[in-house]
């Protein structure tokens, strides 16, 4: 199981990095010491990044339990009410960790929008797309990749929404 990654001896290939490489996406790898419940704020701090440019991947579901991914700034919270209204759903709520793991194929804290087990619609907070580069989970706890946020639209078909609440 310990495959070697050409960029780091600490991080083996993930479905996310395999997908990015297969599509010729330029990215940099950033392993860090994972902290349970540390979230995007912790990873931003240990890697010296702005939490606004660290993007968290949230697995949510609509009223019919249809899964969806939401990409949000690390220092912002999703307004599920605003999100539901924009995507034409009655309601949206976070999935339980077990359900999120089943849909994405990743463990909570290591969820990447790239290379998920199941294809799901992806919604991205529109202000993320204005950033030059973002750091987003690379498919493992304690591992971010930095890339152009437009990749989320090009590769995932991410749909811009406005659903951020300031933390």
- Dist CA 13 CA 5 (whole Å): 6
- Dist CA 81 CA 1 (whole Å): 41
Spatial neighbors of 155 by CB under 8 A, at least 6 apart, are: 19, 20, 23, 25, 114
- Dist CA 61 CA 41 (whole Å): 24
**41-50 burial: b if 16+ Cβ within 10 Å, else e:** ebbbeeeebe
Domains of the chain and CATH, by start: 40-166 (3.90.960.10)
Tokens read off for 9 = 């001896």
**What residue has token string 């605003």?**
82
pLDDT (tens, 9 = 90+) of the chain, 167 residues, equals: 333 333 444 467 999 999 999 999 999 999 999 998 888 899 999 999 999 999 999 999 999 999 999 999 999 999 999 999 999 999 999 999 999 999 999 999 999 999 999 999 999 999 999 999 999 999 999 999 999 999 999 999 999 999 999 65
């Amino acid at each position: 199981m310990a495959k070697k990654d050409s960029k780091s001896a600490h991080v083996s290939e993930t479905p996310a990095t395999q997908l990015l490489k297969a599509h010729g996406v330029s990215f940099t790898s950033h392993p860090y010491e994972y902290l349970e419940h540390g979230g995007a704020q912790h990873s931003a701090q240990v890697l010296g990044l702005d939490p606004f440019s660290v993007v968290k991947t949230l697995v949510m579901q609509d009223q019919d339990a249809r899964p969806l991914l939401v990409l949000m700034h690390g220092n912002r919270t999703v307004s599920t009410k605003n999100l539901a209204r924009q995507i034409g759903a009655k309601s949206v709520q976070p999935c339980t960790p077990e359900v999120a793991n089943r849909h994405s194929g990743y463990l909570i804290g290591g969820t990447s929008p790239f290379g998920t087990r199941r294809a799901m619609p992806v919604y991205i907070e529109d202000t993320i797309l204005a950033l030059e580069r973002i750091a987003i989970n690379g498919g493992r706890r304690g591992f971010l990749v930095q890339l152009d946020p437009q990749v989320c639209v090009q590769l995932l078909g991410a749909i811009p929404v406005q659903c951020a609440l300031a933390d």
